[in-house]
Amino acid sequence: MHPVTERIHQAVATLTGKSSVGPTDVSQFLGLANSQTAKNWESRGPSSEGLVAAAERGISMRWLRSGEGSMFSGPPQAIDLDNNPDYPAVRRVKFKLSAGASGYGIEYLDEEAQPIVFRKDWFSANGYRAEKLLAVRIANGSMEPGLYDGDIVVVNTEQDQPKDGAVFAANYEGEMVIKRLQRDAGEWWLCSDNPDQRRYPRKVCHEGVFLLGQIVYKQSSHI
């Protein structure tokens, strides 16, 4: 790993109270558009934009470039992730569903899985409300290659109106599914991205299917 990138990882881990961090953590902390940007830094070092973002968060430029001096330009301020208005958290959950029912329950996984944290300006830029976002784990390969089994996605429960081509979480016969919506022959369809359409055929959105919310973010270890 590029030495400057390695030091950024060290500083972000210190500020967030984690033992180690990856590109996704760094991207979220610095307010980058996506984790691929931070992933690219591993070989060629951070961009000027990344260095500016690090400096704005109190990380010393002298220390980043040379490893000399203090890690921080001032006393390090660890970020409290609980009820922090500058870093709203999206909680990890399981939807509790019943077949044919439009409502749902929520099981919070706070003790099993850490929430996903974004800077406040990410919510503002996209028009999202933190209390309406929930994070869930992908449970199969039906949406590969875009989403893999084990990936984490964020569901915007405020957007539950169908949109052609968008990916949604839905209650399909009491099971949460992640599918791409398509409009065809006057019907809405739940479609898989996986090219094996015999294994993952599309399913019509009949009156017993309910949209839980649109997928607005993914966290994946697959590049």
What residue ranges do the domains of the chain occupy? 3-66, 89-219
Tokens 């990890």 locate to 92
How many Å apart are CA 42 and CA 133, to the nearest integer?
30
Distance CA 97, CA 102 (A): 9
User: Which candidate, 114, 158, 152, 113, places its Cα nearest to that of 132?
Assistant: 158
Q: What is residue 163's predicted lDDT score, i.e. its pLDDT?
A: 96
Residue 6 contacts by C-beta under 8 Å, 6 or more apart in sequence? none
Please tell me the class of the 3-66 domain: mainly alpha
Return per-residue pLDDT of the chain as tens, 223 residues. 899 999 999 999 888 888 888 888 888 888 876 778 888 899 888 888 888 888 888 898 889 989 988 888 866 555 556 667 777 889 999 999 998 888 899 999 876 677 888 888 889 889 999 999 999 999 999 999 999 999 999 999 999 999 999 999 999 999 999 999 999 999 999 999 999 999 999 999 999 999 999 999 988 877 6
| DSSP assignment letter at 132 | G
Half-sphere exposure of 122 (CA within 13 A, CB side): 22
Structure-block tokens of residue 151: 């990936």
| pLDDT the model gives residue 78 | 56
Q: Given the structure tokens 């996605």, which residue do they identify?
A: 153
Q: Which fold has domain 89-219?
A: Umud Fragment, subunit A (2.10.109)
